[in-house]
Chains A and B, each alone.
Chain A
Amino acid sequence: MSTLDRLRGIVQGTKPSAVPVVSPELARSESDGFSHRLPATAEAVAIRTSDAAIVLGGTVRERAEGAVIIVDREYRADDLHGFRRIGDIIEALQENQDALATMARAWPSAKGVSGTAGTEVPALLFLDLETTGLFTGAGTQAFLVGCAAIDGDSIRVRQFLMPGFEHERAVLAELAAWAAAHGALVTYNGKTFDVPLIETRFLFHRLPFPLAETPHLDMLHPARRLWRGRPTAAGPDPDASSCSLSVLEKHLVGLHRVGDVPGFEIPSRYFQFVRDGDARPLEAVLEHNRLDLVSLAAVMARALTLVSRGPLESSNPHECFGLARLYERGGSPEHAEGALLRCIELAKRIGTEPDVHADGLRRLAWIRRRGGRVHEAAEAWRELAVLPRCAAVLRHEAKEALAIYHEHRSRDLGTARSLVLDVLSGNLEGNRKVAAEHRLQRLDRKLAVREQGGLVAALDDTLQTGQ
């Protein structure tokens, strides 16, 4: 057996997961395999690149570091993205600086993302990468860097496509230049994925990372707060409870993509392109990336509108609850309370959402207590304690909290005692049980003292008069 045959045996014997996934329409004929047409000369490479640019509707920019294919698209004010007007999205992004400031307070890495008095409003740069893999190690590259920014009354998308692996430094240089012209970064899951990955690429080439100090709002986090608990009324979508951008764009923007390229297929489409130079399969990838960018802007616009206008903007108790959590995180408990009241009111009206109703009451109680308004907090606990179909854990918590209230604040020891007895009649375990029993003992002691209190006072009187 020749070494070559042995090598083939070893390589092909490896597990299939090591072989790129290629969709049927992309798979070349068997004989073609992964054969690779190496261009003969530098000119041939250049021609390949310019052909690809033409296919994708872009241009080639030659830099000292290599070539980049740049594809520009403009989304004008009157264009629709789902059922949202681009112009409305832009307006929401620009008008709601107060909401942006709330988010920046809630997520410190976004500090500086909003304009403050006296400073210029930083230009937002929406960023989304398409990569050669999901693992953020040294061998995963961003072959497409998609950027979007507001330009007058349109959204301008600029995509940097790497014509071949050897051109990566050129793409990074373009990104650095583009980033320098913008003040803040907006991504979706960018804190975990896109930004560390692109940082790794700069580090790989031992270049300074230009985005290190740039304020960065990862919209995934506010989106999770606001929309994780959406009711699944929208249908049996298995993904409905997820907060992926593709789910949110359906629910919030009404965008239904047709012929979208599935995410897992994206790397292999690019690998195919570098092998044979045919850019046509990439068109769908670029379109996917552009839609992601505009959807990101749209989701952010919706979040800002909601945060800015407040809970009356929403008719969904889950969304109101999420909004309250966001306000709380952003340091506005008074707004949070308003959102919770709206959440409770909506839940009451709907009647089929006991969980969010209970969560709302619990949160409300805590916020009031933290604000020193113990009597109002007790009201919320009282409501929660009698809420039908409420989870037993929450009901116990409410009764315990009320017992504390009655023991220490209202000094109604009898009510406190009956609440504790009530709690103890349930299935309590571990520390909670011990705490409840302890409380009961203490209450009994106090009650005993109080009963004797009269006697002691009488005795005191006697002694005093005796003197």
Chain B
Amino acid sequence: MASDKATLPVRRSLEHKQLALQSALQVLASGSELDRADTPDEVVTAVRRLPAVEAAYAPFPAGIDPRLRAAFEARGVQQLYTHQAEAFDLVAQGKQVVVTTPTASGKTLCYNLPVLDRILKNPATRALYLFPTKALAQDQMAELHELVGAIGKVTGEEHEIGVHTYDGDTPQDARRTIRSKAQIVLSNPDMLHSGILPHHPRWAKLFENLQFIVIDELHAYRGVFGSHLANVLRRLQRICRHYGSNPQFICSSATIANPLELAEGLAERPFSLVSRSGAPRGEKFFVFVNPPVVNRELGIRRSYVAESRRVAGEFLRRNLQVIVFAQSRLTTEILTTYLKEDFEDVPGMPERIRGYRGGYLPLRRREIEKGLRAGEVRGVVSTNALELGIDIGALDVCVMAGYPGTIASTWQRAGRAGRRTGQSAAVMVSSSAPIDQFVVRHPSYFFDASPEHALVNPDNLHILVDHVKCAAFELPFTTDETYGQVNVQEVLGVLQESGLVHRSGHEDEAGQWHWTSESYPANAVSLRSISSDNFVITDHTNGAKVIGETDFTSALSTLHPKAIYMVEGKIFQVEELDFVGRKAHVKEVDCDYYTTAITYTKVTILDRFAADSPNVALHGEVHVVSRVVGFKKIKFHTNENVGSGELDLPEQQMHTTSYWLEIPLAVMNTLPYATDDRRDGVVGLAFAMKQVAQLLLMCDARDIGLSVNTGEQDQAGTDWPRIFIYDAYPGGIGFSAPLWGMQRELLSKASALIAGCDCETGCPTCVGPVGETGPLAKTVALRLLEHLLGRSEGDGLRSEGDGFSRRQGVATAEAVALQTDDEVPF
């Protein structure tokens, strides 16, 4: 990075801005066309021009309340975008609606319009809005207050439509008023779960008159969080039935592959989709940058953070307003520091470069948001905190330091730059993580393919049982009531065995199940994870101070004795892990390495779901036993392995669902390699498959686990190698079946990832780091894939008809589960 201290020139006209943008892009793309064919092997792998889109308007719907229409007209809005009108009409027809138009397309009006219209026509109407974060609810409240103010101006009366947020920050004395007076309540799923539903009698007015449930940022509710939300919505709809209301759902989502499926999975009602945006869009340039390779042998590239700094600098220097998205809080702070160095503030002037992340005080955040809207803040470095709909105005450029993980989220972030007119740019700078490398080298995967699927599993028994308890507390279950896809009467019977519920009445009549425990079940259920059990991390450097917490599942692999734990750039070492007391005691240290845990995982197949399919890929129920047996010390910057240690920690068990790939012995035997090399090939293939699975499933690295059985452990010596990719949550979260369905894509993308990698014999980008995989891992893995992809059916492949699975129904697999979920510092 050149350390020239650029000075930002004065504000220029729009035309100048466009010239500046193009000039910066020219520099980045080394003079190439601003819309050209992809070049996977170069530093700039893609430069695409997304043309401007004209607005498509529709008149205000005939049925709209004249006051609402007048309020818009008074603000200069004479017509709607087509999608807004479409959503209004569908809502008027009584449909459940999900809207998936891009960022800044006026999506919020799709729900605000019908809701305000209904409230104006009937002030008794109530609406409940759910946002994934408190900050978003605050932001929306400000927007709604403006709209309500505009309506008040038109009608001339103090037309107070009650709009209030209701969350953990709401003062106690305001709550009673909100419960009875607020026509629109803005809240979040956690508050609904533990603060509203268990108190529904006090919210009778809301539930009796509830006509709309609005769920914004629907795509945020996938995996565990989504499965919990689906159950919260089941409870919500139960309560609504009790009060005789039947609210309509209006949801908005980022572009995902299956918005209808997700909405229907969450709300369990049929939905209509509004996906064609009528909003205009300015021209946008999208650039993919892959930092150059600096060590070909180890497959090490230049730091993507340094590269992002250079890219952001090109735009900032030309006085373009830039948002930089970093992947972690730490990276955010570091990039902020770098850019502040490059663009020193003028004393007495507002700070031009700011950081933004969770953990900043709300006041500071509001100040930064305001600075961005006013144009005083020229560059902001943020975590995903600014990805969702917080209003920061229209910026010129978005730089993503690292691939955001999903196509949906990448578009969402890119949408932060560029609004309805004028040019904008988005640059994705890839890190050396496998997913990043796959995407940057296959731009069409991002530009031309459908985005990811968002998956939920509301019938995960662990999650469902928790919510059945909450539901029983809220309202007794009747003996003929149904709940989800499971037999809830059976669940209640088991709860009765533990004395948690009691069936009233007598055998001859339909009775009710009443909650019979003085505990308050919602307190024990956290929507953001499957278990509310967690470990607290205490720093003993100067007295005892709590510095963080970690959920139970990842505690053993991240907080084992001698583990390096990092927070806000500070390095700590775990001195003691108090497993029973759920505490880790750490002290600050000065060292140049971090640690990754070595976990042994044993997967036992319990039940095969896809047993009829004559295929090598299967899915089913498994029992996973894992134990952290040791750890490795990895040097910062170079990622060298500089030592290791052994550990003796308790094992963890889990019953979950898994997808697995069986490699026929016939295929193994045709490989012209030594046994060890064949094994390396399987391990390498597994490594690559997990990365791709993560990509396909739109999930976090820690949502899925990997276990490999290389085939040798079996006593008979005849077992086939198996690669398990399992749901890392007890009971499974719904990844296995879709993964099984996408296996061909999974294998072909794994093949593309490995084949496309620049390294010679394997690197952390494809089959795993050298030193962990053998010298031939890459070659063998590719040969395996050739076989598997070339002959996905038929000869040599086993069919279930041979009685194999019944005879050897229980197979075991042991392997080192490759730890990839630790964020690798640069």
Per the bound structure, the CA–CA distance linking A137 and B515 in Å amounts to 12
Beta-carbon contacts under 8 Å, A133-154 to B: 133-140
Q: Knowing A4-B494, A34-B499, say if A137 contacts B465 (CB, 8 Å).
A: no
Interface string of B191-207 (1 = CB under 8 A from A): 00000001111101000
* Residue A271 at the chain B interface, CB threshold 8 Å: yes
The answer on a CB contact under 8 Å between A275 and B502 is yes
Q: Which residues of B contact A1 (CB under 8 A)?
A: 606, 655
* Residue A14 at the chain B interface, CB threshold 8 Å: yes
B465 CB contact (under 8 Å) in A10, A139, A267: A10
Interface string of B484-509 (1 = CB under 8 A from A): 00110011001111111011111111
The answer on a CB contact under 8 Å between B497 and A8 is yes
The answer on a CB contact under 8 Å between A36 and B504 is no
Per the bound structure, the CA–CA distance linking A139 and B503 in Å amounts to 15
A36 CB contact (under 8 Å) in B461, B476, B502, B518: B502
Per the bound structure, the CA–CA distance linking A12 and B606 in Å amounts to 21
| Chain B residue, CB-CB nearest to A200 | B201
Interface segment among A38-46, A98-106, A236-244: the answer is: A38-46
* Residue A430 at the chain B interface, CB threshold 8 Å: no
The answer on a CB contact under 8 Å between A138 and B475 is yes
Per the bound structure, the CA–CA distance linking A271 and B519 in Å amounts to 13
Beta-carbon contacts under 8 Å, A361-394 to B: none
Interface segment among A16-24, A83-91, A222-230, A312-320: the answer is: A16-24
| Chain A residue, CB-CB nearest to B623 | A1
The answer on a CB contact under 8 Å between A133 and B517 is yes
The answer on a CB contact under 8 Å between A132 and B518 is yes
The answer on a CB contact under 8 Å between A133 and B512 is no
Q: Which residues of B contact A19 (CB under 8 A)?
A: 498-500, 517
Per the bound structure, the CA–CA distance linking A43 and B516 in Å amounts to 24
Per the bound structure, the CA–CA distance linking A39 and B512 in Å amounts to 14
Q: How many A-B residue pairs have CB under 8 A?
A: 145
The answer on a CB contact under 8 Å between B518 and A267 is yes
Distance in Å from the Cβ of A195 to the closest Cβ of chain B? 13
The answer on a CB contact under 8 Å between B499 and A20 is yes
Q: Knowing A8-B497, A11-B498, A138-B200, say if A41 contacts B506 (CB, 8 Å).
A: yes
* Residue B514 at the chain A interface, CB threshold 8 Å: yes
User: Considering residues B496, B497, B499, B606, which has the most beta carbons from chain A within 10 angstroms of its beta carbon?
Assistant: B499
Interface string of A31-57 (1 = CB under 8 A from B): 001111011111011000000000000
Distance in Å from the Cβ of B567 to the closest Cβ of chain A? 28
Per the bound structure, the CA–CA distance linking A19 and B199 in Å amounts to 22
Per the bound structure, the CA–CA distance linking A165 and B501 in Å amounts to 11
* Residue B521 at the chain A interface, CB threshold 8 Å: yes
Q: Knowing A36-B496, A139-B515, say if A10 contacts B475 (CB, 8 Å).
A: no
Q: Which residues of B contact A9 (CB under 8 A)?
A: 655
The answer on a CB contact under 8 Å between A34 and B496 is yes
Q: Knowing A18-B521, A165-B502, say if A7 contacts B202 (CB, 8 Å).
A: no
B461 CB contact (under 8 Å) in A6, A138, A140: A6
| Chain B residue, CB-CB nearest to A264 | B518
The answer on a CB contact under 8 Å between B509 and A42 is yes
Per the bound structure, the CA–CA distance linking A455 and B744 in Å amounts to 108
* Residue A268 at the chain B interface, CB threshold 8 Å: yes
* Residue A3 at the chain B interface, CB threshold 8 Å: yes
The answer on a CB contact under 8 Å between A204 and B201 is yes
Q: Knowing A38-B506, A40-B508, say if A139 contacts B474 (CB, 8 Å).
A: yes
| Chain A residue, CB-CB nearest to B515 | A139
* Residue A349 at the chain B interface, CB threshold 8 Å: no
* Residue B524 at the chain A interface, CB threshold 8 Å: yes
Q: Which residues of A contact B476 (CB under 8 A)?
A: 165
* Residue B462 at the chain A interface, CB threshold 8 Å: yes
The answer on a CB contact under 8 Å between B204 and A139 is no
Interface string of A119-134 (1 = CB under 8 A from B): 0000000000000111
* Residue B472 at the chain A interface, CB threshold 8 Å: yes
* Residue A350 at the chain B interface, CB threshold 8 Å: no
| Chain B residue, CB-CB nearest to A35 | B497
Q: Which residues of B contact A40 (CB under 8 A)?
A: 506-508
The answer on a CB contact under 8 Å between A271 and B499 is yes
Q: Which residues of B contact A165 (CB under 8 A)?
A: 476, 502, 504, 512, 514
* Residue B473 at the chain A interface, CB threshold 8 Å: yes
The answer on a CB contact under 8 Å between A274 and B516 is yes
The count of chain B contact residues (Cβ–Cβ below 8 Å) is 50
* Residue B445 at the chain A interface, CB threshold 8 Å: no
Per the bound structure, the CA–CA distance linking A200 and B514 in Å amounts to 16
* Residue B447 at the chain A interface, CB threshold 8 Å: no
Distance in Å from the Cβ of A427 to the closest Cβ of chain B? 25
Distance in Å from the Cβ of B624 to the closest Cβ of chain A? 14
The answer on a CB contact under 8 Å between A45 and B462 is no
* Residue B520 at the chain A interface, CB threshold 8 Å: yes
Beta-carbon contacts under 8 Å, A52-110 to B: none
B473 CB contact (under 8 Å) in A17, A21, A42, A138: A138
The answer on a CB contact under 8 Å between A42 and B200 is no
Q: Knowing A40-B506, A139-B515, say if A18 contacts B524 (CB, 8 Å).
A: yes
A4 CB contact (under 8 Å) in B474, B490, B517, B524: B490
Per the bound structure, the CA–CA distance linking A378 and B201 in Å amounts to 55
A44 CB contact (under 8 Å) in B201, B506, B521: B506
| Chain B residue, CB-CB nearest to A9 | B655
The answer on a CB contact under 8 Å between B521 and A39 is no
Per the bound structure, the CA–CA distance linking A166 and B477 in Å amounts to 12
Q: Knowing A10-B462, A11-B494, say if A200 contacts B202 (CB, 8 Å).
A: yes
* Residue A354 at the chain B interface, CB threshold 8 Å: no
Interface string of B760-803 (1 = CB under 8 A from A): 00000000000000000000000000000000000000000000
Per the bound structure, the CA–CA distance linking A1 and B504 in Å amounts to 30
Q: Which residues of B contact A137 (CB under 8 A)?
A: 198-199, 473-474, 520, 522
Per the bound structure, the CA–CA distance linking A140 and B514 in Å amounts to 10
Per the bound structure, the CA–CA distance linking A447 and B487 in Å amounts to 90
Q: Which residues of A contact B201 (CB under 8 A)?
A: 138, 200-201, 203-204
Distance in Å from the Cβ of B558 to the closest Cβ of chain A? 23
Distance in Å from the Cβ of B256 to the closest Cβ of chain A? 30
Per the bound structure, the CA–CA distance linking A4 and B496 in Å amounts to 13
Per the bound structure, the CA–CA distance linking A33 and B204 in Å amounts to 38
Q: Which residues of B contact A140 (CB under 8 A)?
A: 518
| Chain A residue, CB-CB nearest to B523 | A135
Per the bound structure, the CA–CA distance linking A353 and B518 in Å amounts to 43
* Residue A164 at the chain B interface, CB threshold 8 Å: yes
Per the bound structure, the CA–CA distance linking A14 and B465 in Å amounts to 10
| Chain A residue, CB-CB nearest to B513 | A165
Per the bound structure, the CA–CA distance linking A19 and B469 in Å amounts to 12
Per the bound structure, the CA–CA distance linking A15 and B461 in Å amounts to 16
| Chain B residue, CB-CB nearest to A271 | B516
Q: Which residues of B contact A166 (CB under 8 A)?
A: 504-505, 511-512
Q: Which residues of A contact B199 (CB under 8 A)?
A: 136-138, 200
Distance in Å from the Cβ of B710 to the closest Cβ of chain A? 28
Q: Which residues of A contact B522 (CB under 8 A)?
A: 137
Q: Knowing A19-B517, A137-B520, A139-B472, say if A7 contacts B512 (CB, 8 Å).
A: no
A42 CB contact (under 8 Å) in B503, B506, B515: B506
Per the bound structure, the CA–CA distance linking A134 and B655 in Å amounts to 35
Per the bound structure, the CA–CA distance linking A212 and B74 in Å amounts to 45
User: Considering residues B469, B499, B515, B516, which has the most beta carbons from chain A within 10 angstroms of its beta carbon?
Assistant: B516
Per the bound structure, the CA–CA distance linking A10 and B460 in Å amounts to 11
Q: Which residues of B contact A21 (CB under 8 A)?
A: 518
Per the bound structure, the CA–CA distance linking A151 and B400 in Å amounts to 80
Distance in Å from the Cβ of A41 to the closest Cβ of chain B? 5
Closest 3 CB pairs of A and B: A139-B473, A34-B499, A203-B201
Q: Supply 13 further A-B pairs (C-beta < 8 A) apart from A135-B520, A137-B198.
A: A1-B655, A3-B486, A7-B461, A11-B495, A11-B500, A39-B507, A138-B198, A138-B200, A139-B473, A139-B515, A166-B504, A267-B518, A275-B516
Q: What are 10 A-B residue pairs whose CB atoms fall within 8 Å in the complex?
A: A3-B486, A14-B524, A33-B497, A38-B507, A40-B506, A42-B506, A133-B517, A139-B515, A165-B514, A271-B516
B residues whose Cβ falls under 8 Å from a Cβ of A: 198-202, 204, 243, 461-462, 465, 469, 472-476, 486-487, 490-491, 494-500, 502-509, 511-512, 514-522, 524, 606, 655, 731
